[in-house]
Structure 1
Amino acid sequence: MVTEPPVGHPEAIIRPDAAGQAFVVERLAPRPELAEFVDYYWLVRWFASAPHRQQVVPQPRIQLAAEDGRLLVHGVSREPFFRTLHGPGHVLGATFHPGGFRPLLRRSVGGISGTVRPASELFVHDDVPAARRILAGGDSAELVATLEEYLVGVGPEPDAVGRGVTELVARAERRVEITRAETLATDAGMSLRSLQRLFTQYVGVGPKWVIQRFRILDAAAAAHTGAVTDWAGLAGELGFSDQAHLIRAFTQVVGTPPASYQRSIGRGPARRG
C-alpha cells in the first residue's frame, strides 16, 4: 500500500509563489511509534543567490528544528515568524501534534511558549551530536532517522489526555462554525475554565487564540486560491463580527489586509481606477 506524504499546512507560508522560487519543502511521516507525538517532519532546502526573507504564520504546534548547530525547540509564539535564507542550506524540523509535546517535556508546555531553547535544556539528552549529523547533510531518510533516534531516546510515553487535546484542536481547525472558545468547551463537555487550563498545559496557548489562528489561516487559504473573494461574507463565516474585524486580525498576523495581500501575490482581481 502506498502512503501519501503529509500535506502539512501550506497556507501558513506567506507569499507561496515567491517562496517556491527560493526553497523547496518536503514533508515526511513519522515512524509508527512516534506518530502519536509527531504530526510530520519538514525538510526545507534552499539555494538563494540573494537573501530571501520568508514569513510563516505561527500555528498552535511546537516545532523542533536542527539549525545553528543545535536542535532548537520553538514554543508556540504569538509573534510573526521570519527567516532570511541565503546561499545553499537546509533545515529539518518536527511539527508536533498540538497535544504531542507534553509527553516529551513531562510538564506544562505553557512554560516554553514564546521561547526558543536548545533541546538539551529541556531534556537530559545532548542535542548537539544529532544536530551536527543532520546539518552535515544527506538524503531525507537519513536525516529523519537521526532526528527520530534522538526523539526515541527522549522516551515519550503514550498520553490519552494529549491525544484528546490533539483531537479537540483538530475539531477547532476543521469545523469553521466553531468560532468561540465557549463553543469548543461545550462541544468537549467541559467548562471554559477547564478547557483553558487544559490548553495551557498541553498546547501552550489558550483556545481563543487557537480558534482565531485557524480562522486567519482559512482566510489566507482563500487568498491563495486566487478566486474572487467576498471578504465581508467570509468574515461572517469565520466568526468575525464584521469585515473590519477580519481586516484587523489578518493584518496583525500577516502584515497587510487580506484583499491587499491577495493582490500583492498576483492572485486577486486587479485594482481599477
Structure 2
Amino acid sequence: MIDARRGVLYPQRMPRFHRLPPPPEGEHLVAWFWVPEWDLPPGETSRQHVVAYPALNLVVESSGSIELVGATTAASHRDLTGSGWAVGALLRPAAVAALTDQPAALRDSATDVRAPELLAAVTEAMTDGADRHRERAVACVSRWLADRAGTPGDAALQANAMADLLMTDAEVRTAELAAARLAVSLRTLQRMAHRYVGLPPLAMIRRRRLQEAAQRLRDQPEVDLAALAAELGYADHAHLTGDFRTVLGMAPSGYRRDV
C-alpha cells in the first residue's frame, strides 16, 4: 500500500487534515482522498509545503472550482487564508485515462474541470452541517469518477499495477527492474508512464525515494545521512543531497533542522 503520511513536508503546520480511503466503487480509480479544512484568524496565513506523489489529483474546492492537477517535478506550496476546505482525490491511472489523454501536458500545471453537478454535490456535503460530511463528499467524487470512467480495461489495470509498484516497492530502483517485475518491455513501461502519469518511470522512482528520505528525517532526526542514502539506494550522500536540492530547494541537513 502507498504510505499516506508521505508528501506533506511539515505535518505539524497543517490545518485540520484527513485522509480517507475510497469507497468500493472507487478503489480502482483513487488511491486515497485528502480533505483539509481551515479557519484562520484575519490576517493569518498558513503556508503548506508538499512534495507530491507522482500522480494526478482531482481537487474540488470551497472557492467553487474543480481542477485536474498534473504531476509535479518539484516541491510546491500553497498559502491558506480565511476559511475553506478542499476535497482532493489522488488518482490512480485508471481514472486519469477518463479525464485526459495528455497527462504530460499538465505536468507542473492544472486545468479546470467543468462539472457543476459534482461541485454542487460536494459543496452540499461539506457545508450542510450533517454528520460524516467528509465521507459523504468523498462518496460524491467516487460516484462521479466511476460513472465517468466505467469499467477499467486491461490496459488501465496494468497501468494501476505499474503505479503501485513504482510508488511502493523500495526494492525497485531502476526502470529496467520495474519492467521485468511487470513482465513488459522497458519501452512499454515508458509509454505507459507517459500515457497515464505524464512522468518517466525513473522520475516516479526518484520521487518515492525522496519522500521516503524526508519521512525518515521527520521520524528519526538522528539518522546518519550517509547510511540513509545507502539504505534508499542512492550512490552516495552527495546524490541524496542533490535530489533534495533539486526538488525541495534545500539540503537534507537543512530540512532536518526545519522539522
| TM-score > 0.5, shorter chain as reference | yes
Matching of residues 76-115 of structure 1 within 5 Å: 76-97=71-92, 99-105=93-99, 107-115=101-109
Question: Match of 1:255?
Answer: 249
Please state whether the residue corresponding to 1:182 is helix, strand or coil: helix
Question: Match of 1:38?
Answer: 30
Find the partner of 1:183 among 148, 165, 177: 177
Shift of 1:75: 1.3
User: Whole-Å Cα distance in 2 between the matches of residues 149 and 176 of structure 1?
Assistant: 33
**Are residues 1:13 and 2:8 paired?**
yes
Shift of 1:240: 1.7
Q: Indicate the structure whose relative CO is greater, using CA pairs within 8 Å and at least 6 residues apart.
A: 2
User: Whole-Å Cα distance in 1 between the matches of residues 100 and 167 of structure 2?
Assistant: 25
What whole-Å deviation, never above 9, does each CA across 1:92-127 have from its counterpart, x for those lacking one? Answer: 111112x2223413634334333311123xxxxxx1
User: Whole-Å Cα distance in 1 between the matches of residues 5 and 104 of structure 2?
Assistant: 26
Identity across matched positions, percent: 26
Give me the TM-score of the superposition, normalised by structure 2. 0.87
Q: Any unmatched runs of 5+ in structure 1?
A: 1-5, 121-126, 266-273
- CA 1:168–1:151 in structure 2 vs 1: closer, same or farther (change >3 Å)? closer
User: Whole-Å Cα distance in 1 between the matches of residues 149 and 210 of structure 2?
Assistant: 35
Count of aligned pairs between the two proteins: 250
Shift of 1:207: 0.3
Give me the TM-score of the superposition, normalised by structure 1. 0.83
Shift of 1:14: 1.1
Contact preservation (8 Å) 1:91, 1:135: no
Shift of 1:26: 1.4
RMSD: 2.2
Please state whether the residue corresponding to 2:222 is helix, strand or coil: coil
Contact preservation (8 Å) 1:8, 1:27: no
What amino acid is the match of 1:93?
G
- CA 1:173–1:151 in structure 2 vs 1: closer, same or farther (change >3 Å)? closer
- CA 1:205–1:260 in structure 2 vs 1: closer, same or farther (change >3 Å)? same
Please state whether the residue corresponding to 1:41 is helix, strand or coil: strand
> Which aligned runs of 4 or more in structure 1 are off by greater than 4 angstroms?
none
What amino acid is the match of 1:31?
P
**Are residues 1:161 and 2:149 paired?**
no
Mean CA deviation greater in 175-184 or 102-111: 102-111
Mean CA deviation greater in 155-164 or 75-84: 155-164
User: Whole-Å Cα distance in 2 between the matches of residues 213 and 84 of structure 1?
Assistant: 23
